[in-house]
Amino acid sequence: MGIKKKIARYLLFAVGGVVLLLAVAVGAIYLYQDKIIQLFVAEANKHIKTKVQVEKIEVTLWEKFPAVAINLKNVEITEAVAGSTAPLAKLANIYSTFNLWDLWRGTYHIKELYLEEGEVRVKVLPNGEVNYRFYQDADATHAGNLSFDLEKIVLRKVRISYHDAPGDQRYELQAHALSAALSIEEPVVTIKAEGRALVHTLQVGESEFLRQKEISLGSQLAIHTIEKTITISPSELRVEKAVYQVGGEVLFPAKTNLDLFIQGKNTDIQSLLALLPPRFTKQLAQYRSKGDVYFQGEVKGEVSAKKNPYVDISFGAKGASFYHPDYKEKIEKVNLEGRFTNGEKRNSQTSMLELRRVTGSLRGRPFSGEFLYHNFANPDLKAQLRADVDVAHVLGVFPVEDIRKGSGQAQVQLSFAGNLKQFKANPSHASIKTSGEVSLKAVSLLFRQHPMPVSGMNGAFLFRKNDVAVTDFKGKVGDSDFLVNGYFKNVLPWLFLKGQRLRIEADLASAFLNLDQLLTVAPAGRQDLESTGKSAARKGKAASAYAFNLPAHLELDLNASVARLTFRRFKATQLHGQVRLQNQVITTPNIALQAVGGRFQVSGNLDARKPLIRVNSVARIDEIKVDSLMYVFENFGQNFITQRHLQGQLTAHIDSELFFDHTLSPRTDLMQAEIKTSIKNGQLLYFEPLQKMSTFIERHELANLRFSELKNNFWIQGRTIYIPEMEIKSSTSRFSNITVSGTHTFDQQMDYHLRIPLASAQPKRDKDERYGVVAGGSTPNPNLFLTIKGKEGNFKVAYDQEKVKDKITSDLEREKQELKDALKGKKKEGKTVKPAQEYFEF
């Protein structure tokens, strides 16, 4: 019990002593605070030669306990450039700490410096001047009661940027927590640095390294102040998961010279990619590796505004495998030797990246290649690739966004050599060499934006410079098949450069084209594209809305031959002709085909450059069956005269201007056409308006009205069909010639005018009187004038008073003129004058 009391008493004394000391310390700080601040400001002014703004200075015991800290709040230090007001640093807090016992001695030795929450901007101006020398040289300072004997510098949440204009370099990083411990044993200063930071960018010329990489550092270096050397002990630098060992010397007696080595530790593909410019590694950034991957390198030579050190890095793999974590496929048994160097002149012009003896396999299929990228300022590229691959496995390792899935085999043997800058500036005249061949065997692809699978592709592609010779390239798109022989020109610029055109000059043959499928767009929603394609293939019709879009950078010059073609109800055979495409305009001078029992010939152009597609065409139709034509074109959107009503052989010449949107819906308000037609051996069957004239003509004659030939010119404009007056030679016994004229709108509003000469008309009193009075006279062939007005299902047949008035006026004028001629003694013409006709009111 006594022992416990003693222990408790000792603890109480200890705690009390600590509390007493803290109380004394707090009191001393409060008592000497102003003096300490005055000493600190006086001593700092001896060292600092630029403007410094501080919102508040205070002395605190608690922020960096057990050390006492002088806290400068909201500090802004102006850069050391004459006449400049730009900040070198802006920090929320700067802490300068000293030992608690310094309070009793009255002399203050600043041991640690903390920079927190802000940014530091270091610059080397174009004239070589630097902006960070804001302190006085050592010989200009004086000793006093406060001195700077730094043993540790700490950065927390500080963004640091370094821009070297003459050296064309920019470094930016965010220091999460970096500290440097200093140990001084004259003439050697030892620094032990550790911490974490986010590297935003390290730019050297056009190359960029370690972009948005998290790094951690653990290093030790010794600075010899007399010999002007820095010796870096083997240190560890971790870049995300990659670990590097760095060591060597830095000499700076007059000029800065480096002699450093770097070596990978637990190396993988990410270790290599982190050291190379993103232009080479962007597409590979997500890939991982297993197996033996190695690299090592050295950095030697002078570093200045005008000179760069020599950099030489060797790397490679032995029996390694590479894969993407999101995909199942991987490349195995990879062997390669690589090298990166900035060359003899130590600049971008002599820089080089080389891959040698590259071999590997993908699902047991081998590949090999070589790669050389020389002169980063004006790059020359040499590359070779030899591979026998399965398309599905290639897409499994290197997926293509627009392709949903694929299958089949491809054999590739390609080589390329040339200057990339020349290639970009003028692809067609660049001195490049491309050779080799790609062969496809049973390749199938399913695209995301089209439901029809492209299947069974076979063919050979022979590469020469920018062009490709295509031999027996065949396959199917849904139910449609194709066979292409010819040339694909400007292929490489089109593949790798923006705004370049692909030109195809070829013969295209097809046994069958299904335009319903080819013009179908992928259905919206989450429906499976492959099943949609199979369904549409089975039905032989579009699975969803049409879409017609012409690529802006595709040119075609095709000789087409199609055995069969279908689009909705339209079916054609023996299609032949030329098709040209340029600047989204299709032109064809001579398309000919067989359809609906006759022959079509078409020439014209289709302009798809604007939101509305414009089609200008001249078409010739020879001996087409009228009823079949109306069926195929769905009665042209009306039901007044259908394929059940009209038969005969049609010959026509059509000159038209049509407009469609890109879903192939017509803009009928903009449509214009002139149609010259001739129908031979025609029949008008069970036409309802004629049935209403059974008062004058037997119904069975009206049910099947035959005519030998009908000729007329039609115009279409403003959604209206204009029918000039035309004569129909009828087979009906009561009238032989019918004259028809009028209009028919696309809204099915009709306004027809008919003149029917009746042979030997003897109207019956009890029936005719209800229509009006039949004018008597000696004329044997009276005319019946009628109008048909209204809509398809609601029209009226009526007496045409205007036509009767016009006819009477015309006859009176003629008789008046004949009377004048008789009074003047003029002889009548030799032809027989027709007697005045009678008119029926109807």
Among 837, 834, 687, 839, which Cα is nearest to 763's? 839
Which pLDDT tens digit goes with each residue over 227-264? 888 898 888 888 877 788 889 998 877 778 889 998 88
Helix residue spans in 48-167 (DSSP H): 102-105
Q: What is the pLDDT of residue 141?
A: 43
Is residue 384 within 8 A of residue 415, CB to CB? The reply is yes
Which pLDDT tens digit goes with each residue over 546-594? 888 888 999 999 999 999 999 888 889 999 999 999 999 999 998 999 9
Rounded-to-integer distance, Cα 482 and Cα 774, Å: 70
Q: Which of 162-171, 312-321, 620-629, 708-717 has the highest mean pLDDT?
A: 312-321
What string of H, E and C letters represents the secondary structure of 615-637? EEEEEEEEEEEHHHHHHHCHHHH
Q: What percent of the chain has pLDDT over 70?
A: 75
Rounded-to-integer distance, Cα 491 and Cα 428, Å: 10
Beta bridge partners of 258: 250, 301
Among 170, 204, 208, 378, which Cα is nearest to 307's? 204
Among 707, 716, 655, which Cα is nearest to 679's? 707
- Average pLDDT of the residues in 10-32: 51
Provide the token pair at 555: 């040119």
Which pLDDT tens digit goes with each residue over 177-233? 988 887 777 788 888 889 999 988 888 666 677 778 888 988 888 888 788 888 988
Rounded-to-integer distance, Cα 313 and Cα 291, Å: 20
Q: Strands 310-323, 330-341: parallel, antiparallel or unpaired by DSSP?
A: antiparallel
- Average pLDDT of the residues in 384-401: 90
What string of H, E and C letters represents the secondary structure of 113-139? EEEEEEEEEEEECCCCCECCCCECCHH
Which pLDDT tens digit goes with each residue over 785-814? 888 888 867 778 777 767 666 666 676 666
Q: What is the pLDDT of residue 815?
A: 64
Q: What is the pLDDT of residue 125?
A: 86
Provide the token pair at 158: 């500080």
What string of H, E and C letters represents the secondary structure of 215-280? EEEEEEEEEECCCCEEEEEEEEEEECCEEEEEEEEEECCCCEEEEEEEEEECCCHHHHHHHCCHHH
pTM, to two decimals: 0.67
Provide the token pair at 221: 């270096």
- Average pLDDT of the residues in 408-437: 91
Instruction: Report which of residues 687 and 156 the model is more confident about.
Output: 156
Q: What is the pLDDT of residue 615?
A: 92
Rounded-to-integer distance, Cα 391 and Cα 457, Å: 12
